[in-house]
Amino acid sequence: MSQRSLAGPDGRRRYPRLVTVSQTSTPNTGADAAPHRYTAALAAELERRWQDRWELEGTFHTPNPSGPLGDPAAVAGRPKLYVMDMFPYPSGAGLHVGHPLGYIGTDVFARYQRMNGYNVLHPLGYDAFGLPAEQYAVQTGQHPRVTTEANIATMRRQLRALGLGHDSRRSVATTDPSFYRWTQWIFLQIFNSWYDPDAGGARPIVELEDAYASGRRATPDGTPWADLTEGQRRGLLDDHRLAYLSDAPVNWCPGLGTVLANEEVTADGRSERGNYPVFKRNLRQWVMRITAYADRLIADLDGLDWPEPIKLMQRNWIGRSVGARVDFPVRTAAGTQTAITVFTTRPDTLFGATYMVLAPEHPMVDDLLPGAWSEDLPASWTGGAPTPVAAVAAYRAAAMAKSEVERGAEGRVKTGVFTGAYATNPVNGALIPVFVADYVLMGYGTGAIMAVPAEDERDWEFAATFGLPHVRTVAPPADWTDGAYTGDGPSINSANNEISLNGLETAAAKAAIIDWLAAKGFGVPTVQYKLRDWLFSRQRYWGEPFPVVYDEYGVRGLPDSMLPVELPEVDDYSPRTFEPDDAESTPESPLARATEWATVTLDLGDGPREYRRETNTMPQWAGSCWYELRYLDPTNENAFVDPEVERYWMGPQAPGDCGGVDLYVGGVEHAVLHLLYARFWHKVLFDLGHVSSSEPFRRLFNQGYIQAYAYTDARGMYVPAEDVVEETDGSFSYEGAPVNREYGKMGKSLKNSVTPDQMCGEYGADTLRLYEMSMGPLDVSRPWDTRAVVGSFRFLQRFWRNVIDEETGLSRVSETPADAQTRAVVARTIDGVARDMANLRFNTAIAKLIECNNYLSRLLADGGALPRETAEAMILMVAPLAPHVGEELWSRIGHTATLTFVPFPQADPALLVADTVTCVLQVGGKVRDRVEVPADSTEESLRELALSAPKVVAALAGREVRTVVVRAPKLVNVVPA
Restricting to residues 860-889, name those near RNA by CB under 7 A.
861
Rounded to the nearest whole angstrom, what is the least distance from the CB of residue 382 to RNA in the complex?
20
Stretch 665-694 residues interacting with RNA (CB under 7 A)? 668, 671-672
**Contact between residue 878 and residue 871 where contact means Cβ atoms under 8 Å apart:** no
Q: Does 131 bind RNA (CB under 7 A)?
A: no
Q: Does 414 bind RNA (CB under 7 A)?
A: yes
Rounded to the nearest whole angstrom, what is the least distance from the CB of residue 880 to RNA in the complex?
17
Rounded to the nearest whole angstrom, what is the least distance from the CB of residue 296 to RNA in the complex?
20
Of the candidates 66, 116, 345, 428, which one interacts with RNA according to CB under 7 A? 345
Q: Does 741 bind RNA (CB under 7 A)?
A: no
Instruction: Pick the closer one to RNA by CB: 362 or 612.
Output: 362
Stretch 774-793 residues interacting with RNA (CB under 7 A)? 774-777, 780-783, 785, 787-788, 790-793
Q: Does 308 bind RNA (CB under 7 A)?
A: yes
Rounded to the nearest whole angstrom, what is the least distance from the CB of residue 198 to RNA in the complex?
27
Q: Does 431 bind RNA (CB under 7 A)?
A: no
Stretch 513-542 residues interacting with RNA (CB under 7 A)? 528, 530
Residue 428 burial (10 A CB sphere; 0-12, 13-18, 19+): middle
User: With helix as H, strand as E and coil as C, how does 176-238 read?
Assistant: CHHHHHHHHHHHHHHHCEEEECCCCEEEEHHHHHHHHHHCCCCCCCCCCHHHCCHHHHHHHHH
Three-state DSSP at 783 gives strand
Rounded to the nearest whole angstrom, what is the least distance from the CB of residue 82 to RNA in the complex?
26
Of the candidates 377, 385, 847, 961, which one interacts with RNA according to CB under 7 A? 847
Rounded to the nearest whole angstrom, what is the least distance from the CB of residue 733 to RNA in the complex?
16
Beta carbons within 8 Å of 919's beta carbon, 6+ residues apart: 930, 931, 932, 933, 937, 942, 945, 969, 970, 971, 972
Rounded to the nearest whole angstrom, what is the least distance from the CB of residue 709 to RNA in the complex?
10
Rounded to the nearest whole angstrom, what is the least distance from the CB of residue 340 to RNA in the complex?
12
For RNA, which stretch binds (CB under 7 A), given 115-123, 534-542, 771-779, 871-879? 771-779
Instruction: Pick the closer one to RNA by CB: 613 or 928.
Output: 928
Instruction: Pick the closer one to RNA by CB: 290 or 592.
Output: 290
Q: Does 417 bind RNA (CB under 7 A)?
A: no
Cβ count within 10 A of residue 91:
15
Three-state DSSP at 134 gives helix
Three-state DSSP at 171 gives coil
Residue count (the chain):
977
Angle at 802 between CA 798 and CA 804, to 5 degrees: 105
* DSSP secondary structure string for all residues of 349-374: GGGG--EEEE-TT-TTHHHH--SS-S
The H or E element containing residue 920 is strand 916-923
Of 638, 704, 706, 626, whose CA–CA distance to 665 is shortest? 704
Rounded to the nearest whole angstrom, what is the least distance from the CB of residue 415 to RNA in the complex?
7
The alpha carbon of 675 is separated from its chain's Cα centroid by a whole number of angstroms, namely 6
**Contact between residue 903 and residue 116 where contact means Cβ atoms under 8 Å apart:** yes
The alpha carbon of 805 is separated from its chain's Cα centroid by a whole number of angstroms, namely 47
Instruction: Pick the closer one to RNA by CB: 104 or 775.
Output: 775
**Contact between residue 540 and residue 131 where contact means Cβ atoms under 8 Å apart:** yes
Residues 238-267: x/- map of binding to RNA (CB under 7 A)?
-----------------------------x
Roughly how many angstroms between the first and final C-alpha of the chain, as a whole number? 69
For RNA, which stretch binds (CB under 7 A), given 200-208, 212-220, 926-934, 941-949? 926-934
Of 596, 602, 626, 697, whose CA–CA distance to 180 is shortest? 626
β-pairing, 285-288 vs 971-976, is: unpaired
Residue 820 burial (10 A CB sphere; 0-12, 13-18, 19+): exposed
Stretch 27-46 residues interacting with RNA (CB under 7 A)? 27-28, 31-33
Of the candidates 578, 795, 890, 904, which one interacts with RNA according to CB under 7 A? 795
Rounded to the nearest whole angstrom, what is the least distance from the CB of residue 869 to RNA in the complex?
23
For RNA, which stretch binds (CB under 7 A), given 131-139, 188-196, 770-778, 937-945? 770-778
Peptide bond into 347 cis (omega under 30): no
Stretch 456-495 residues interacting with RNA (CB under 7 A)? 456, 458
Rounded to the nearest whole angstrom, what is the least distance from the CB of residue 24 to RNA in the complex?
5
For RNA, which stretch binds (CB under 7 A), given 72-80, 88-96, 607-615, 916-924? 916-924
Of the candidates 535, 846, 876, 881, which one interacts with RNA according to CB under 7 A? 846
Rounded to the nearest whole angstrom, what is the least distance from the CB of residue 974 to RNA in the complex?
8
Residues that contact RNA, how many (by CB under 7 A): 93
Residues 324-343: x/- map of binding to RNA (CB under 7 A)?
-------------------x
As a whole number of angstroms, the distance between CA 538 and CA 259 comes to 6
β-pairing, 355-358 vs 321-331, is: unpaired
Three-state DSSP at 437 gives coil
Beta carbons within 8 Å of 189's beta carbon, 6+ residues apart: 684, 685, 688, 690
Encoded amino acid at 540, one letter: R
Rounded to the nearest whole angstrom, what is the least distance from the CB of residue 775 to RNA in the complex?
4
Stretch 610-669 residues interacting with RNA (CB under 7 A)? 668
Of the candidates 24, 139, 275, 821, which one interacts with RNA according to CB under 7 A? 24
For RNA, which stretch binds (CB under 7 A), given 103-111, 245-253, 680-688, 923-931? 923-931
